[in-house]
Amino acid sequence: MASALGADTDSDRRNVSDAAGVVVLGACAVWSLVTAAAHDGRPEGVLLAVLALAAGYASGRISGALLPVAASGAAALAGLGLAVAMPKVAPGPQFTAPLGHSGATAALLTLATGAACCAAWAAAAPALRLALRTLAAGIVVTAAAVGSATGCALGAVVLLCSLAAGRIRRRGLGILGMALTAALVTGVTWAVAGNVLPDGLSDSFEGRLTPRRVQLWHDALHLARQDPVLGIGPGRFGELSAGAPQTLLPDGKPHSAPLQQAAEQGLVGVVLLATAFCWVLYALWRTARPTPVALTAGAALTALAALAAVGNALSFTTVSVGAGLLAGLATARPFVSDHRRAEPE
């Protein structure tokens, strides 16, 4: 009787989070079409990103249900391979740093580390768990070897968070901390774009982020103020930004997902982007998978959110697919139960 009640509760959790995901992703797609119609924009990029995220999530849910350990391990190896091959596998012109593929490389390495750590927590055999954690550490070392300092740093953070997750019984506070971290990074980005930080602190950020990137953020915020509700239309930042044509090999992006949403789709677009991230965290909070798996995936996706706030990582389809895949793997319900049950909330 108790087990039947627990199964019903798990089913209700999944139904609520799945329904919320459908609504959120559908709203993102519809709003991009609305803003594109209002300002003759090009919504194809947003629609592709939504489709990639949904496809990755569905693939993760299916493969995670069938082979929770093998699927996560394979995802880690695939992410590592794509990151090492970047930018050769990326379509379009080959941009140079700091406005190039470095953000996508760091994002893939971070997601790969998270997938390897999730596989380790799902493994029952101690030897296999050790091998998968060694793989995660190897991905961090590889990030340093390929020159991705950001990927190395974020991967190390994810690995440490994953190890610490084993001591956490209630995941709610961890999920809340991840949401606050993403909000803090986004707030700092917005403050730099709006020139509201003290001069010394602002100069420090500009030195690390490069003046070109900060100039793009200024332009994005300026364009967002022209139409705070609808924005200028998706895909039009490169046309209307004063700073975008001045960058080397411009890609027409402001290199900040929240600021791009604000400029091209208005404040509603920003709210939808934040809602999509909150939905992922909610799904991880309510998943029946063990708490270490949920918190590890959340740490990797939070690192991606922080990276997307200051770069162009989400402009690459492979990153959107990888994010959805990791979220799907961490929220799947394996047909064979995990060796550790989810801890109470």
Q: How confident is the model at residue 253 (pLDDT cuts 50, 70, 90)?
A: confident
Is residue 343 within 8 A of residue 166, CB to CB? The reply is: no
Q: How confident is the model at residue 3 (pLDDT cuts 50, 70, 90)?
A: very low
Alpha-carbon gap, residue 278 to 283, rounded angstroms: 9
Other CB atoms within 10 Å distance of the CB of residue 98: 16
Phi-psi domain of 248 (left: phi exceeds 0; alpha: psi -120 through 50; beta: other): beta
Domain boundaries defined on the chain? 2-331
Alpha-carbon gap, residue 22 to 316, rounded angstroms: 22
Whether a cis peptide bond, with omega within 30° of 0, leads into 98 is yes
Q: In Å, how far are 22, 275, 300 from 15, measured between CA atoms?
A: 11, 18, 24
Alpha-carbon gap, residue 97 to 149, rounded angstroms: 13
Placement of tokens 């019903």 in the chain = 8
Is the pLDDT score of 4 beyond 50?
no
Listed in sequence order, the residues at least 6 apart from 282 whose beta carbon sits closer than 8 Å to its beta carbon are 17, 20
Is the pLDDT score of 339 beyond 80?
no
Packing angle of the helix pair 2-39, 257-286 (nearest 10 deg)? 170
Alpha-carbon gap, residue 176 to 178, rounded angstroms: 5
By three-state DSSP, how is residue 199 classified?
Answer: helix
- What average pLDDT score do residues 296-323 get? 95
Other CB atoms within 10 Å distance of the CB of residue 106: 28
Q: What is the DSSP letter of 98?
A: T
Residue type present at position 128: L
Q: What is the pLDDT of residue 161?
A: 96
Is the pLDDT score of 24 beyond 90?
yes
- What average pLDDT score do residues 312-337 get? 91
The tokens describing 203, both together, are: 């100069």
184-187-189-193 Cα dihedral, nearest 10 degrees: -160
Q: How confident is the model at residue 156 (pLDDT cuts 50, 70, 90)?
A: very high
Q: What is the pLDDT of residue 89?
A: 46
Alpha-carbon gap, residue 58 to 65, rounded angstroms: 11
The tokens describing 170, both together, are: 């209630």
- What average pLDDT score do residues 215-240 get? 89
CA atoms within 13 A on the CB side of 244: 18
Residue 137, Cβ density class (10 Å: 0-12 exposed, 13-18 middle, ≥19 buried): middle
The tokens describing 37, both together, are: 């119609």
Supply angle C-alpha 133, 134, 140, rounded to 5. Answer: 95
Q: How confident is the model at residue 11 (pLDDT cuts 50, 70, 90)?
A: low
Is the pLDDT score of 197 beyond 90?
no
Q: How confident is the model at residue 251 (pLDDT cuts 50, 70, 90)?
A: low
Alpha-carbon gap, residue 31 to 263, rounded angstroms: 14
Q: What is the mean pLDDT of the chain?
A: 87
